[in-house]
Amino acid sequence: MAREQTLLDRIAACGDLRRGRIEPSASENLDALMESVRRNLARLLNSRHGMSEALPDYGLPAMNDLTIGSGDYVRRVEEAIRVAVDKYEPRLRRVRVSRVQDEERQTLSFRVDAVLVSQTGEHRVWYQTVVTGAGEFEVSD
């Protein structure tokens, strides 16, 4: 697969090479690949439609747009996340998004389940997202 690492990851790796730090490429290191995907998901989910002139639908719709005339806000957010990940994270396939109940923290949390495709094969992965009080998505694996 040609897209093991994002462009930003490859640029950062070039800087590491100049500083004498050589690490396995993401295609050789599943943990590095998962971390690259996690960073890309965080960028994607924290972007809003219209922020990029080149890709006007990159990211998620404004959260206010998802609540207008809807009694099913959570379902709309799940679907928006799934559509964005399907379109803009080509290393993930068969993406499913579901809400995670967190009674203790009372936060809006989602789990992204998918298949990560790499040169070494397919791997089942999941990422946890939490919407912070500032409206930003924190993504962990």
Q: Closest Cα to residue 94, out of 79, 114, 77?
A: 114
Say if residue 125's pLDDT is above 70: yes
The better pLDDT of the pair 6, 3 is held by 6
Structural class in CATH, domain 30-140:
alpha beta
pLDDT band at 117 (very low <50, low <70, confident <90, very high): very high
Mapped onto helix, strand or coil, the DSSP state of residue 101 is coil
What is the pTM assigned to this prediction? 0.76
Cα(57)–Cα(75) distance, rounded to whole angstroms? Answer: 19
Mapped onto helix, strand or coil, the DSSP state of residue 80 is helix
**What pLDDT, in 10s, does the model give residues 12-49?**
777 655 655 555 554 458 899 999 999 999 999 999 99
Q: What angle do CA 3, 76, 35 make, to 5 degrees?
A: 30
Domain ranges of the chain: 30-140
**What pLDDT, in 10s, does the model give residues 54-106?**
999 999 998 775 555 556 888 889 999 999 999 999 999 999 999 998 777 67
Cα(95)–Cα(112) distance, rounded to whole angstroms? Answer: 7
Contacts of 135 (CB under 8 A, 6+ apart): 63
The pLDDT, as a whole number, for residue 107 is 80
